[in-house]
Amino acid sequence: MKKGLVCLLVLGLLLPLTLSPGGCRRAKEKVVRIGYLPLVMSLPTFVAAEKGFFAQEGLEVELVRFQSGTTVVDALVAGRIDANCGSAITGHWFAEQNVPGRYKIFLVYGTDSLVDNTFVVVVKKDSPLKDLKDLKGKKVAHFPGATNLSLAKAIIRTQMDPEGVIFTEVPPPNLVPALAAGQIDAFFTPEPFGMMAVSKGVGRYLKRSPCTLLGLKKGIQGGAFSFSAKFLKKNPKLAIKVKAAVEKAVDYMKTHDKEAREYLAKYTQLPPPVAMRIPFEKWIKIKDLDKEAPQLYFELLYKDGAYKEKIDTTKLYYE
């Protein structure tokens, strides 16, 4: 009888803790859901996970893989993930235009001067085309999305009227096969797709570093790592720790390039030889960012019709 009474008392004490919404919520809050794309820009996320930098900050994280920038940003603004590490900054701007105030950016990926290490224009290996002006009347592929089209048009406009080019969206995995099959005459993308086309004997470079033609002397910041506003409001201390872990990875990569590239091959499934040679841009901490630079890039795309409304990108950062 006494034993049964003790069991009932213990059960009575435990049940409120087990059933309490607050108790369940506290347990769930310890797991930070981080979305990412299997791309070069996400490398600090892979390094932070592999080197235990998240764990060092006392974090338990769940890495959630997405296949497109649209889906990962949609999940971010809806609060289905806590952080996006990372995806195109242009997609973040679309979100701000449509549902303002849903995120803050804590790291950017790109350049801070008039350089372009990653974008290329590629044609078939035996193509007679010699420069961008020869693309008139040709079918040129780009990544899906209005901003990718606007960027391609803006670059072509420095050489000729882009209206004379037939632009078409092609998903990244289909670019090299489409070029090989003659379905497109050229493609405009970041690496590694040019490297892959060349290594397979399918293509050659028509133009390297085409983004420099835009004359953006403060660079182009193409990628962004961000927190959902919901997460920042609910778990501000966890956000500080996630940022610290990712920035620790950025610093680590500067002196452990080869090791970091091995993680790139693991998470993106790039062939190891490509992962070891693919060029990188910079991962720029917000404290080091010239916030006017992304604004200038936004305005260039805005003038080309990618966005319906102007936004102040300088207000979108977590500091």
Non-local (6+) Cβ contacts of 278 within 8 A are: 40, 191, 192, 195, 261, 264, 270
Classify residue 188: in a domain, yes or no: yes
- The answer to the question of residue 101 being in a domain is yes
- 205 and 255 housed in the same domain: no
166 and 34 in a single domain? The answer is: no
What CA–CA distance (Å, rounded) separates 64 from 82? 10
Structural domain includes residue 271? yes
User: Locate tokens 């990653």: which residue?
Assistant: 118
Q: Residues 208, 130: one domain?
A: yes
The beta strands (E) that lie in 90-175 are given as: 103-110, 119-124, 139-142, 166-169
Q: pLDDT 10s per residue in the chain (319 long)?
A: 444 444 434 444 444 444 444 444 444 457 999 999 999 999 999 999 999 999 999 999 999 999 888 899 999 999 999 999 999 999 999 999 999 999 999 999 999 999 999 999 999 999 999 999 999 999 999 998 888 898 999 999 999 999 999 999 998 889 999 999 999 999 999 999 999 999 999 999 999 999 999 999 999 999 999 999 999 999 999 999 999 999 999 999 999 999 999 999 999 988 999 999 999 999 999 999 999 999 999 999 998 888 999 999 999 999 8
Q: Total structural domains in the chain?
A: 2
Q: Which helix (H) or strand (E) holds 22?
A: helix 21-29
Range of the domain at 40: 30-111+220-306
Q: What is the pTM of this model?
A: 0.85
Does residue 238 lie within any of the structural domains?
A: yes
Does residue 228 share a domain with residue 87? yes
| 138 is a domain residue | yes
- Which CATH number covers residue 210? 3.40.190.10
Do 236 and 102 belong together in one domain? yes
Same domain, 248 and 267: yes
Final residue of a structural domain among 198, 214, 230: 214
Domain edge (last residue) among 160, 195, 214: 214
Domain boundary among 192, 214, 236: 214
d(CA 249, CA 63): 15
